[in-house]
């Protein structure tokens, strides 16, 4: 029997049938599973359970999934957890809002368990590749540290949500190279995740608000680069 700890998954949905289905399939694959039926409870469970992956419904009573994700990302122990949104909604604003608060993937119901397992595995494979990279980038007056997910700007420590950080880290690691929105989507969110190009623009805007306007340049009609 392997001594390797089980990957911990928190399933959050107000539909008990979906919770039971996902819990059964995840446990069958060897995951350790905790559950919650609303957003407020999910934040409390996440703080104690410290999941590696969170499957999170958007439309829930008491507190929706977007706000729940934002609160979970503020817990130091769970800020690096993978968050996959589960939703029956297909409106563009839901998707943008989900990625805006740090979602890693977005799956529309009805959920196919085997496809979900594949998406979870893909997230861990992509993360494993990233861990092999140099963990610190020093450029201009910034020290961008992948280990702590922090940015040191002239001695001041800044923290960014997961995807904003990864976007900045990727651009800074490749200075003066122009990347299209599609290239950034593939490198940051992965080829297996369907994300709107507008999501990149939103994240670039938020990064600029936090570190300043002088680092990332918009190349009109092409994409973005770190000067």
CATH of 133-226, one of 1.10.10.10, 1.20.58.340, 3.40.640.10, 3.90.1150.10: 1.10.10.10
Q: Cα(83)–Cα(98) distance, rounded to whole angstroms? A: 9
8-130, which class in CATH? alpha beta
pLDDT value of position 1? 38
With b for 16 or more beta-carbon neighbours within 10 A and e for fewer, the 167-186 pattern comes to bbbbbbeeeeeebebeebbe
pLDDT value of position 104? 84
pTM for the model: 0.65
By the 10 Å C-beta count (0-12 exposed, 13-18 middle, 19+ buried), 139 is classed as middle
pLDDT value of position 193? 66
With contact defined as beta carbons under 8 Å apart, do 147 and 157 qualify?
no
Q: Delimit the domains of the chain by residue range.
A: 8-130, 133-226
For 159, residues 6+ apart whose C-beta sits below 8 A from its C-beta are: 149, 150, 151, 165
Q: Cα(4)–Cα(196) distance, rounded to whole angstroms? A: 37
Residue from 186, 36, 26, 41 nearest 118 by CA: 26
pLDDT averaged per 10 residues, the chain (length 227): 73 95 94 95 95 92 89 87 83 68 82 89 76 74 87 90 90 92 86 74 92 92 91
Q: Cα(6)–Cα(225) distance, rounded to whole angstroms? A: 39
**28, 29, 35, 40 alpha-carbon torsion, rounded to 10°:** -160
For 141, residues 6+ apart whose C-beta sits below 8 A from its C-beta are: 153, 154
Copy the structure tokens of residue 9. 């998954």
């Amino acid at each position: 029997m392997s001594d390797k700890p089980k990957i911990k998954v928190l399933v959050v949905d107000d539909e008990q049938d979906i919770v039971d289905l996902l819990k059964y399939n995840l446990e069958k694959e060897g995951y350790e599973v905790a559950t919650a039926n609303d957003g407020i409870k999910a934040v409390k469970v996440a703080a104690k359970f410290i999941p590696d992956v969170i499957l999170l419904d958007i439309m829930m009573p008491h507190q929706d999934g977007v706000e729940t994700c934002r609160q979970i990302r503020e817990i130091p122990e769970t800020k690096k957890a993978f968050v996959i949104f589960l939703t029956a909604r297909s409106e563009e604003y839901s998707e943008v809002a989900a990625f805006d608060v740090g979602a890693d993937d977005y799956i529309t119901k009805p959920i196919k368990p085997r496809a979900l397992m594949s998406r979870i595995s893909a997230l861990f494979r992509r993360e494993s590749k990233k861990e092999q990279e140099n963990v610190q980038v020093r450029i201009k007056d910034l020290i961008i540290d992948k280990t702590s997910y922090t940015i040191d700007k002239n001695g001041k420590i800044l923290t960014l949500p997961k995807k904003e950080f990864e976007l900045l880290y990727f651009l800074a690691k490749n200075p003066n190279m122009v990347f299209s929105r599609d290239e950034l989507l593939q490198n940051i969110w992965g080829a297996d995740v369907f994300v709107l190009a507008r999501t990149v623009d939103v994240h670039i805007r938020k990064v600029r608000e936090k570190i300043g306007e002088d680092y990332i340049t918009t190349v009109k009609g092409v994409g973005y680069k770190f000067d």
